[in-house]
Structure 1
Amino acid sequence: MHRSSILPHQLPTALDHNPEAAVLSLDCFDTLLWRNVHQPDDVFADLVQDGIDPGQRIMGERRARTEARINEERHEVTFKEIYTKLMTNADDAVRSAAIARELAAEARHCFPFRPTVELMDRAKAQGLKVIIVSDTYLDNAQLTELLRLSAGEDVLALIDRIFCSSDYGKPKAAGLFVDVLAELGVEPARILHLGDNPVADFDSPSRLGISALHLVQFDEATKERLRLETVGASVFNAAVRGSMPAYQPHRAGLSIAQPLLSDPTSALGYAALGPVFYGFGRWLLDEAADLEQRTGKPVRMLFLLRDGHLPHLVHQAIAPESANASRGEISRLTSSAATLTTEDAVTRYAKVATLSGYPADYTLARLLFPPAEANRIIRSLPKKGDQNQALFRYLSKPQTIDVIMRRSRAFCDRMIEHVRAATGIQPGETLMLVDLGYNGSVQNRVDRVLAEALGVHVAGRYLLLAESEVSGLDKKGFMDRRNYDDRALDALGSVVAVIEQLATVSQGSVIDYDPGGSPIRRDYTISDSQTRTRDRVQAACVQFARDVAGASHRRPQSDDVAWTHGAAATLIRLMFLPTKEELAVLEAFDHDINLGTSSHVKLFDPEVAERELKRRGPFYLKHSERMYLPAELRGQGFPLTLMAMASWRLRLDVQHSEFSDRHIVLPVMIADGNELSESVVHATPTHEGFFVATIPVGSGRFAIGAQFAKQYEWLQIEAVWFTPASTFLNPRSMHASKDFAAPYHLEGIEEVAPGLLKCTEEAGFLLVPPPPVQADVVLHIAFRPIAPRVKAPVTANPAEPALVG
């Protein structure tokens, strides 16, 4: 049967499919009433406070349905039957109260879908009857009350009749429409039915001659995103799908935008960033209102560029009337330069910089020395010995400190003028700094300076906040320690670079201000193609913020809490479970380091993960310092992604031995000058069938012959390399850049193709000469066995009699 389908945004014109219709028939749930959760049984999480776990509620319904089917051949059950099986020893009064609480939970999460309500309005205007035909364990009175509470009296007044499967003992697929036709007395062709279930809402009515349309809520890509959001949210918040629903208040908004979501770039902005920044934007408005109520004074929101650019665009979309929001530019560089106003601050920075081995030109630039002066200072440093120590002695001189402090005070005055010009803030008001986070370093440095110079209270509000110290400042995060532990926040902070690059503005980082407070910036060095792509993503994100309120005719009661958790789930999903389509949009992105430099790194590189996994195995992920590592794992198998996400989120103390619970015994020859000995090493598994053999070789002393041919006829070599022993023993450096290639020779082995080896002689081996270094090193050989060597069977000598018995 060919199904006629309709998309959510087309619902208001659905009557065009049957101009002769006298009755508009609608499914209830996910057609008229939508929930702001992932799936219906998420509502059961609200029952936990009454001592009923979601699993118990599901099992109670399953037992009731099984009994009805076996004992009475009935395909539908009632609410009372479900709670009889759920609360086996309770009396009717207790069960009735529990049923009422579940109905109240449904009412908290349900809302009327605006396109469906518009269709109902048009139907009534054309003189049609509107009926609801629902597969539900609610009876007519219960569903009517739910509609009253969640949809409102105005929507309920549009409905002429309600048919509930529980009242008839059969669902739509088992004959409910036969009863509907009999009671209405209308020809089937004069009815138009719509619903989201292809069997119940299209196949079943169509067989009876009823005109039907299948409501397709989401395309497959959107379904995948929504499903993976619940996976990510469940990993990061143990309450999800337990004592808290998997909130998805953006489901309805995504459904009406399906044509837009066919473009991967627009889909990234609309479906991934849109819910995140809309939820963040709503929270910022609530925070500003709360601060105004507490202080009785206006709150001036200052969105800190560059990362505050997209939050500011979304704020303008959802609060266009707001006059107290502006954009300002305070970077980590300028916040540091403006706060070197005390001897202690200068000395502390100089000590950290020189002890950390920062380049001298970098250190001097951040201590406000112009390039020509910095070059003169560098030339004056001794050519031999510890230059950093000499630089620190110079920076510690009282006259040098005085120069830095004087310049910093002037810099601070220029920054203050910039903030005053950007915000128009007055003494006694609150300055709310808005940024993505993660530590709030800018606020840490300038909070006191701004408060004293402007006579204001300073507050910081961030998308993600995980302070590395207890600052005691007025700071909050949309996601912070109030709802996530430090391990979860650290994991999120480790991949925030993808959000930074999508939220930023097309301009260089601020490095100074002119006397009037206007920013002076570095050159903008991101490519035009990346800028164009990011601008399209941001435009779609802003469009979501404008559109989403139009998806619901009436907000559900749980709307605020739903956006708090639903937006966070979307963020987690994008960070740790990006789709292939999203990565195709981001694959050419660079990440520019916002420190007043023009340094770029590739946002992610899948080839790095594939190489490192083959060479070192999953353990390398534990300490890998990549910008967007989850993106690099895409394509390496979902089990690996899920394992890595859980490990990062929980900070699991997993050691190398847990990843290497089997091994291959590889015979090796060890040559030391004229002496030759044989031994074995254990090669441990890495990834995709590869193994790595690790062999200490000393300080350029031993040559190693790996006797692969004894065991294999075919194998693949991935890489052969040396690692300094000091690096190898440091797990945080096991993937460090100090590795260097180990040239090798083949004896009795033929390289048929690059890396593909055929062992032509059983005595063949791969020979690695001693490395040309004096320090102790470790040799690694990453290989994949392909075909084992087949030993010829041993036969008896025909000249000798066989032994019998």
Structure 2
Amino acid sequence: MFTDVRLREVWSHLESGGAQALTLDVFDTLLWRMVPEPTHAFVLLGHRLADAGHLPPSVSPGEFARLRVHAEHVARLHAHDTRGTHEVRLDEIWQVLAPALPGTAGVQDLIDAEVAVERELCRADLAVVELAELAMTKLGLPVYLLSDTYFSASQLERLLNRPELSGVPFTRIFTSSDAGTSKSDGLFQHMLAASNLQPSRVVHLGDHPVADVEGAREHGLVAIHYPKYAGSLRQTLDLEGLRNQPGDDVPIDPVDGDFGMTALRARTLHRADALAVPAGLRRYWETGATVFGPVFAGFAEWAVERARDFGADHIYCLMREGDFLSRLLVDPGEDVGVSVSTMWASRQVCALSNVFEGSPQELKSFLVRRHAPSVGQLLRQLGVRLEHVAGISALADRRLDVPGLLDDTLEELCSDERIRSEIVLTATRLRERYVRYLDSQLPETGRVVFLDLGWGGTIQALLTRLLASTGRKLDILGLYLATNQAAMSHRLAGMELEGYVASGGQPETMANQLMRSPEVLEQLCMPDVGSLVSFDEMSNPVLSIDRTSRTQVAQRAAVQDGILAFQREWLRYRRSETPMPSLASAGARRAGLRMLTRFVARPTAAEAAAFGSWAHDDNFGSDATEGLLPPELVRRMPYLTPADIDRISMRELYWPAGVAGVANRPLAVISGLAAAAGVPPEEVSPEAAAGPVEVYVDTGADFVNGVKETALTRSARDGLSLVRLSVEAVGARRIRIDPAGRRGLLRLDWLTLSFHINNIAEPYKVTITSLDDPAQQLALVGLRLLQPNLVEILGDDPQFVYTIDLATQPHLAGVYALEVEMAFGWMGIRGDALILPAAGPARDGLPVRAARKIRRELGGLR
């Protein structure tokens, strides 16, 4: 009967036939506010008074809110001193507050303003309203209201005077301010006496575990708890800064508060479908409902409103993400007369379809992707057989991000007329098939709206160019959850594209954090199919193999279900007689960006562990997938500082904050807070006292004449450091690493040399964890070995020297680059000689404490 499972027990008691009446708490039960905390309403009241000229210029809305809180506290203390109760009336609070606001309106006008703001912020809990209506109409029971509040019964009637409650004639309202006693003390007794009810036959529902549950039961009532929060929502709100004390920096809108997002997130977690989620998927469903739900519900509402304003009555959601996004748009679209469908598009297909001449410029646009492909991958996607390109066939496994290789490859392809013609023929064949598909989807003229998850607008730009080549006269608007700075070049070219939470990389601080790791957003929107790679002869989409694990598929579905559950709850209130404020407003969009940025930049350990297990596909004609939290990166986290995190490229690691959230929580928190505050990561990353690390390469003319690179070292938690740098190493014969420029003790946890070799895709790695193994070809200069991985630095020029043995390592003759990674701990020591104590005789037998423990367990010693 009830979608909110909290009310089923109440109804069971009422329907049993023994109930004489139903009593309801008011705030956070019958009514809820569009602010995270009740006192946040005072901030909005402060803005209202300031706009009306009723605040002194020296008092900000946030300061007023604190004054209002303090005035209530003082009034309650005075009431206790004078009449033995902490219960006060609103006029008593304002009598205390008025001297702080000289020259403003009269006290009664200020009281009326507060009641008016409260009424605008309050919404009736539709589930509780339904319960009250059924109790009255079906069971014939009276319904009483009880509230611990400074509002009088008549003031509460003003808050309750709303369309949703017009059919619910409450029998009577009892307030602590009128009665002079709270629910915990005597308000229940006062109500029972005034109503002539038997306590055991009265069912009370309220949110406060003490006042509403313990207080009611102490007076003999049947009490049912109506808890506000469930799951990890309280922690989420804390991290979003929404449960802070009222002030100017509380992240709420000055008019619409939090748009009801806090209350509706809480209510979504109590829906019946929430309890039906298996325990193993609960974390994903809850995150969908409480983190992503408000954002995507707002995105859908904004998108259909923007389409309608644009003059379009249909939105084309681009696949693959469009499969899920279209489901979000259906209901809000019906409300404004905008229909929705999906349409296949991908960067690979759109890019190749835009190759008309096979010029280097056209092919470079084909390479706009996160990870550079190998030469062989590029040739396969262009439809060129590897053996037909003799000049570069030997480089098939080389990635095109090797300096100079991309230009050389494109020159080789485009200078050969036969190969260039083959590329153009492949592109023409695909273009004809794709255009036939687009003919079946799009009109010839008019206004068209494309919708996608977003980022740079590349697909829209390619589609616009392709459609223009067919003679279509279309005005195209692209709508996205977010767009980055790359979208600005398309705007300058005349394209229309907009982002919901971020547009063109603005607002910059939060948008940069979100755009650093958008992969979780991409994955949670995916359907259970691979990416679009081509079209067949009948213009049907040809998809790659979907290699997503069954576990991730189930987890993703749970996230999507949670998002849709929140949207259903939101639409329920949006369509009510007192509608919610639009999530298309600037304040709601900013709130959505804060939610996403918090999750991406400062995930909890549980969130990072749950979503970090997901794999992400490259989505450009490649079957490759990578985990969001690679194990080798998890191992590095204790050695890193925020500056080190900032330098990790997207190619190497999708979600740095997620890895840190699992392996180094303090690092995750510091990095996230610094980024949110706009503090450069170097400011919170102290330099290591050991000094810089230097790497030299000897190519046959000694180190003095070879390549040298220097890396600044920074000190992480527990004094650990990690250095990573790359050097040119063509013809390398010896590698020298100078680990520190000061005397001290150095513990080497690992030293990895990654040799990049011509015609070999992956680097050849040598990892050293012990310094006393002669087989590792590592010599120590200026160092004294104390333990296998512990050395004493004897002077200011210590050296690790690795010698390449071409007799046993002939493949290293083709080295062209080297990457060095060294993880270590360092501690400075005095300049005098380090004397190690001689080892004493070994002790036989158990330690005394262990022996005594065993004797106690055997009963031999008490």
Report the TM-score when normalising by structure 2. Answer: 0.74
Gap change, CA 1:318 and 1:510, over 3 Å in 2: same
Q: How does 1:66-465 map to 2 (within 5 A)?
A: 66-70=74-78, 71-72=81-82, 73-88=84-99, 89-90=101-102, 93-125=105-137, 126-149=139-162, 152-155=164-167, 157-230=168-241, 240-241=251-252, 243=254, 245-247=257-259, 248=261, 249-257=264-272, 258-260=274-276, 263-272=279-288, 276=292, 279-281=295-297, 283-292=299-308, 294-295=310-311, 298-316=312-330, 324-341=339-356, 346=361, 349=364, 359-366=374-381, 368-371=382-385, 375=389, 378-379=392-393, 391-397=409-415, 399=417, 404-405=423-424, 407-421=426-440, 423=441, 425-450=442-467, 453-465=471-483
Shift of 1:645: 1.6
SS of 2:436's partner is helix
Gap change, CA 1:526 and 1:483, over 3 Å in 2: closer
Kept in 2, the 8 Å contact 1:195–1:213? The answer is yes
Gap change, CA 1:406 and 1:81, over 3 Å in 2: farther
- Which residue of 1 is the match for residue 512 of structure 2? 490
Deviation digits for residues 337-380 of structure 1 (CA, Å, limit 9, x no counterpart) = 122235767457289899x99643344445x3333675567459
Kept in 2, the 8 Å contact 1:395–1:401? The answer is yes
SS of 1:177's partner is helix
Kept in 2, the 8 Å contact 1:665–1:683? The answer is yes
Gap change, CA 1:474 and 1:492, over 3 Å in 2: same
Kept in 1, the 8 Å contact 2:23–2:143? The answer is yes
Contiguous gaps of at least 5 residues in structure 1: 1-5, 667-671, 674-680, 725-735, 793-805
Q: How does 1:672-711 map to 2 (within 5 A)?
A: 685-690=715-720, 700=734
Q: How does 1:47-62 map to 2 (within 5 A)?
A: 47=45, 48-51=47-50, 52-62=60-70
Kept in 2, the 8 Å contact 1:11–1:119? The answer is no
Kept in 1, the 8 Å contact 2:307–2:449? The answer is no
- Which residue of 2 is the match for residue 783 of structure 1? 825
- Which residue of 2 is the match for residue 596 of structure 1? 621
Gap change, CA 1:483 and 1:750, over 3 Å in 2: closer
Kept in 1, the 8 Å contact 2:713–2:722? The answer is yes
- Which residue of 2 is the match for residue 660 of structure 1? 686
Shift of 1:171: 2.7
Gap change, CA 1:357 and 1:596, over 3 Å in 2: closer
- Structure 1 distance, partners of 2:505, 2:147, is 37
Query: Which letter maps to 2:292?
Result: V
- Structure 1 distance, partners of 2:324, 2:726, is 52
Shift of 1:315: 3.0
Kept in 1, the 8 Å contact 2:302–2:500? The answer is no
- Which residue of 1 is the match for residue 642 of structure 2? 618
- Structure 2 distance, partners of 1:60, 1:319, is 42
Query: Which letter maps to 1:509?
Result: S
SS of 2:181's partner is coil
- Structure 2 distance, partners of 1:254, 1:632, is 28
- Which residue of 1 is the match for residue 860 of structure 2? none
Kept in 1, the 8 Å contact 2:749–2:769? The answer is no
Deviation digits for residues 752-776 of structure 1 (CA, Å, limit 9, x no counterpart) = xxx6x7x9x9999x99641226999
Tell me the matched-pair count.
744
- Which residue of 1 is the match for residue 812 of structure 2? none
- Structure 1 distance, partners of 2:412, 2:142, is 88
Kept in 1, the 8 Å contact 2:316–2:343? The answer is yes
Kept in 2, the 8 Å contact 1:357–1:388? The answer is no
- Structure 1 distance, partners of 2:724, 2:377, is 39
Shift of 1:121: 1.5
SS of 2:144's partner is strand
- Structure 2 distance, partners of 1:381, 1:665, is 40
Gap change, CA 1:484 and 1:103, over 3 Å in 2: farther
- Structure 2 distance, partners of 1:518, 1:427, is 20
Shift of 1:332: 0.8
- Which residue of 1 is the match for residue 39 of structure 2? 41
Moved >6 Å (runs of 4+): 231-234, 320-323, 350-354, 692-699, 701-708, 736-739, 761-764, 773-779, 784-792
- Which residue of 1 is the match for residue 6 of structure 2? 8
SS of 1:471's partner is helix
Query: Which letter maps to 2:439?
Result: R
Kept in 2, the 8 Å contact 1:193–1:211? The answer is yes
SS of 1:460's partner is strand
Shift of 1:397: 4.2
- Structure 2 distance, partners of 1:69, 1:567, is 40
- Structure 2 distance, partners of 1:694, 1:582, is 28
- Structure 2 distance, partners of 1:777, 1:282, is 45
Higher RCO by CA contacts (8 Å cutoff, separation 6 or greater)? 1
- Structure 2 distance, partners of 1:480, 1:762, is 51
Kept in 2, the 8 Å contact 1:692–1:782? The answer is yes
SS of 1:685's partner is coil
Shift of 1:123: 1.7
- Structure 2 distance, partners of 1:152, 1:175, is 31
Contiguous gaps of at least 5 residues in structure 2: 51-59, 397-402, 693-697, 703-710, 756-762, 774-783, 805-814, 838-862
SS of 2:23's partner is strand
Gap change, CA 1:538 and 1:776, over 3 Å in 2: closer
RMSD over aligned Cα, in angstroms? 4.8
Query: Which letter maps to 1:311?
Result: L
Query: Which letter maps to 2:671?
Result: A
Gap change, CA 1:614 and 1:279, over 3 Å in 2: closer
Gap change, CA 1:211 and 1:55, over 3 Å in 2: farther
Shift of 1:701: 8.0
Deviation digits for residues 378-415 of structure 1 (CA, Å, limit 9, x no counterpart) = 45999xx9875554444444946666556534433322
Shift of 1:482: 8.9
Kept in 1, the 8 Å contact 2:296–2:563? The answer is no
Gap change, CA 1:286 and 1:770, over 3 Å in 2: closer
- Structure 1 distance, partners of 2:496, 2:410, is 35
Shift of 1:85: 3.7
Aligned counterpart in structure 2 of residue 648 of structure 1, from 661, 666, 675: 675
Deviation digits for residues 308-351 of structure 1 (CA, Å, limit 9, x no counterpart) = 22212333466579883222221111111122235767457289
Query: Which letter maps to 1:430?
Result: R
SS of 1:304's partner is strand
SS of 1:437's partner is strand
Kept in 2, the 8 Å contact 1:361–1:378? The answer is no
Kept in 2, the 8 Å contact 1:302–1:433? The answer is yes
Kept in 1, the 8 Å contact 2:24–2:144? The answer is yes
Report the TM-score when normalising by structure 1. Answer: 0.78
Query: Which letter maps to 1:132?
Result: L
